[in-house]
Structure 1
Amino acid sequence: MRRNDRDDDEDDERFRQQLMAHGIPTRDVSPRPGDGARAAAELARILALPQRRPPLRRRLVNRWSRRRPTRFVLPVVATVAALAVGFFVVVRPGGSEYIAEAGTPPLLRLGGVDAGALPASGESAAETLRQLAIEALGLPYDARQPVQQVVVDSWLSESAAEIGAGDAQSVLRSVQRETYVLPDDIIRSIERRGGPLDQAGRVTSPVEEDGPRLSDESFPIPDRGHDYAERLPTDPAQLRAALLDGYDAATLAQAPGGALLLQISSLIGSYVLPPRLISAIWQMLADEPSVTLLGTAQDRRGREALVLSTPSIDGYGQQLLLADPESGAILGDEVVLVKSSPTYSFTPPAVISFNTIVRSARVPLAEVPAEP
C-alpha cells in the first residue's frame, strides 16, 4: 500500500529539521516507507530515556534508511575527538569483563584486540583499499535485470515481558529488510523479524522468506530515481565531490571521512552498486587519511571482514565500513557510540546500529514478492 498523507509529510518535515540541526545536508533527504512515523516515534523515545538503564520496553534501534543521510534520526554516530598521529586509544567499558549494554549487541571482535574494546584509530588503509578496488572489478553484476534487490540484516531489542523470555532483561533480535528498487521509480520495502542474536551479536536464525511481515510498503523514489547509482561518476575525485555536495565546510573540516561513509551507507542499503562504482569508492577512500584500517573481524553473519573506521560527523562515535577481503564487496556498516552523548543512555562503547548486507543483486521482475 502507498502512504502519502499529511501526517507523514509533517513528520518528515520535523525529521528534516533534526538533520539540518546536526549538520547533515538535506538535499538528499526524502521520505522512505514509514520514515516519518518511525522517526517521530524514535525521537520521542530517545528524549524520554533516563540517563540510567532504560525501563523494560521495546526499543527499536536499527536504522530506517540507508538510501541517504536520513538513516540517522538524531546524530547517532560519533567519535573520539582530536587524535594525534600515531596515538592509539582504546575505548572500553569499566571493569575487566565486557558485558553488552542491555538493548545493544556486542562490538565486533577484532583480531588482536580485547573483547569489548574498539581502537579509536588504526593503521593506514590506503594500500588495502587500492587492492580492494582491483578485486571489486570482478564482482558479479547483471545490468540486464530490471530490479535491484538489497537484503539487509539489522536488529531490535525487546523486553522479556513481551516475548516470555523469563528473567532476561532484554532480548536482541534480528530484523531483515528486503528493498526492491523498481524501474518505474517505486521502492518496495518488506521487513521481517528473525530469531535472537547470539552472545557475539551474530544472526543465527535465518529469516524465513515466507514468514510474517512486520511491514510491507511501496513508495515513490524521490529525487534520485532508480538509476541513481549507475549515474554516479566512477572517477574517485568526481565521486567524492558528488557525495559531499551539500555538506557545509565546518562538517567537512571536522569529519570528511564520516560524511563519506554516511553517504556510502545510504547508498548500499537500497541500490545495487555496479562493480566500477564500488571500485571507485575504495579508490576514493584510499585518498582519505581519516579512514583507517582497524583489522579483521567476523561480521554479523560470520563472514571474514576487513573493518574500516572513521570519526563520525557528530563527534560522539565511530562509523565502521566492512569489506570482503577476497572479492572487494561491501559487507555492511556499523555505528559505535564511543563518547557519552546526551542523545543516548548507553555506556560507551555501544553499538548503535549494524546493517549487514545479505544480498545485493539485480533480479528479474518476477522475483519481486506479490503484494499482500
Structure 2
Amino acid sequence: MDDFERRIRASNPSPVGRRAPLTVRAEDDLAALLSTNPSTVAFPVHSRRRADARAWITAIVAVLVLASVFFAGNVLTRPVASAATPPLLTGSPVDGTLEDVLERLSVAAQNNQNETPSRQRSIVYETWSANITVGEDKTVDVFVQPQEIERTWSDDLSGRIVTRAGAVKWGEQTESAPAAEPGAVLDDGTFGPGEYPALFPETPPASADEMRAYLSSVLGLSSVSTAGEWFKAIQDLRVDWPLTGGQTSALIQIIKTLPDVVLAGTVTDRLGREGIALETETRADGNFKDILVFDLATGLLLSAEDVYLGGLEDTNLPAMTVLSYTAWKESE
C-alpha cells in the first residue's frame, strides 16, 4: 500500500468491517479526494448505504485500488481543480470556555422534551456535494448542488430513502456536466422488512457510558480513536435516528471527554440557523477538520461539516476546501 492509498483509506472516519455499510463521511471524503482524478468516473457522493452494503464495500475497495494506480502515473499531469465549494463557516466569539458551553448544551438537550422516535422514524437532511468532471480540453468543471434526503424506516427494517435535487449554489454547470433539475427525484429506494440499510438498527441509549459502548460496538471505536472519528460516529448516528434530547445529551457528554476539541464560536449554518460550532483537526493525520454545530437553545445537533486542510501530497485539492455538509431538518 503506497502513501496515497494509506492516507485515502485513513480518510474513512469509521473503521467498520467489510460486511458493514459504508458510512456517509467515508463516501464524502473519498469522493472529494477522488474529485481531482482527471477521469470521467461518476462517483455517488451521497447515495449512502444502498440495498447491499457488501456491494458498496467491494466497490469502494476497487475505487481505492484504481485511485492509487492512477495517481502513481499521473501526479504531474492532472489538471488543477477550481474551488467552487461552499464558503467556510465564520465563527464569532461566544461567552464561556469549551467546558462551560458543552455543559450548557448538555443541560439544554437533557431538558428538551422532544418526542421519543416512534416505531416508524423519519430523518430529513440537506447535503452539499461537488460534481467534478473533466472536459476534452482538460479543464475541470466544479459546481455544488444540494440534495434533500428523506429516510423513513421501521423497527422491522423496512423503509424508504428518497433523494431530491436542489438548486446549484456555487460554481457553474456546463453542457458536459449539467446539474439535475431542482426538485427532481434522483433516487427512490423502497426496502422490505429486513432490507433497510440502517447502520444503527437498535435504539440509541440515553446515558454517556451506554452511548459510548453502543457506538464502539458498531464502529469499532476505542480509547485511541481520534476526536474526529467520534465526531463522524455522531454524524452517522444522526443520519439514522431523529435523536431525542437525552440521547443528544449523552453524545455531548462523550465530546466533553475527547481531547483536541476546539470551541469555534457562534456560526450561521447553511440553512440560516445560529448555532455553536465545535471542531477538531485530528482525523487522517490532521488533514481534515470536522465540525459539529449545535443549537444552544435546544442542545440538539443542527449540522456537520468536513473541511480539507491540505497535506495530502498526491492531490491538488486546495487547502481549506469544504468537502461536505449535512444540515438536518425537522421531518414533516
Cα gap change, 1:140 to 1:101, in 2 (>3 Å): farther
TM-superposed CA distance for 1:301, in Å, is 0.6
Q: 2:300 aligns with which of 329, 350, 359?
A: 329
- What SS is found at the alignment partner of 1:151? strand
User: For each residue in 1:314-340, what CA deviation from the matched residue of structure 2 results, as whole angstroms up to 9, or x when unmatched?
Assistant: 121111001011111100111111123
Cα gap change, 1:144 to 1:309, in 2 (>3 Å): closer
Cα gap change, 1:302 to 1:57, in 2 (>3 Å): farther
Residue 190 of structure 1 pairs with residue 162 of structure 2 = yes
CA–CA distance in structure 2, aligned partners of residues 334 and 45 of structure 1 = 13
Residue 131 of structure 1 pairs with residue 112 of structure 2 = no
Contact 2:85 2:143 in 1 (8 A): no
Cα gap change, 1:214 to 1:343, in 2 (>3 Å): farther
Q: Match of 1:64?
A: 48
CA–CA distance in structure 1, aligned partners of residues 17 and 43 of structure 2 = 29
CA–CA distance in structure 2, aligned partners of residues 312 and 288 of structure 1 = 11
TM-superposed CA distance for 1:247, in Å, is 3.5
> Identity over aligned residues, as a percent?
22
Q: Match of 2:92?
A: 111
Residue 356 of structure 1 pairs with residue 327 of structure 2 = yes
TM-score, normalised to structure 2, is: 0.68
Q: Structure 2: which 5+ runs fail to align?
A: 1-7, 62-80, 172-180
Q: Match of 2:145?
A: 173
- What SS is found at the alignment partner of 1:102? coil
1:24-43 to 2 correspondences below 5 Å = 24-27=14-17, 30-31=20-21
Cα gap change, 1:192 to 1:27, in 2 (>3 Å): same
TM-superposed CA distance for 1:106, in Å, is 1.3
Q: 1:212 aligns with which of 169, 184, 188?
A: 184
TM-superposed CA distance for 1:278, in Å, is 0.7
Q: Match of 2:174?
A: none
Q: Match of 1:13?
A: none
Structure 2: which amino acid aligns with 1:187?
G
TM-superposed CA distance for 1:241, in Å, is 3.1
Q: Structure 1: which 5+ runs fail to align?
A: 1-17, 75-99, 113-122, 163-167, 200-206, 364-372
Q: Match of 1:87?
A: none
CA–CA distance in structure 2, aligned partners of residues 106 and 224 of structure 1 = 30
Say which structure, 1 or 2, has more relative contact order (CA 8 Å, 6+ apart): 1
User: For each residue in 1:258-290, what CA deviation from the matched residue of structure 2 results, as whole angstroms up to 9, or x when unmatched?
Assistant: 121111010111211122111111122122232
Cα gap change, 1:107 to 1:138, in 2 (>3 Å): same
CA–CA distance in structure 2, aligned partners of residues 290 and 322 of structure 1 = 16
CA RMSD of aligned residues (A): 4.2
Q: Match of 2:264?
A: 294
Q: Match of 1:49?
A: 36
1:260-275 to 2 correspondences below 5 Å = 260-275=230-245
TM-superposed CA distance for 1:294, in Å, is 0.8
TM-score, normalised to structure 1, is: 0.62
Contact 1:318 1:335 in 2 (8 A): yes
Cα gap change, 1:144 to 1:332, in 2 (>3 Å): closer
Contact 1:60 1:157 in 2 (8 A): no
Identify which range, 182-191 or 128-137, moves more after superposition: 182-191
Cα gap change, 1:46 to 1:132, in 2 (>3 Å): closer
Q: Match of 2:83?
A: 102
Contact 1:296 1:305 in 2 (8 A): yes
Residue 308 of structure 1 pairs with residue 278 of structure 2 = yes
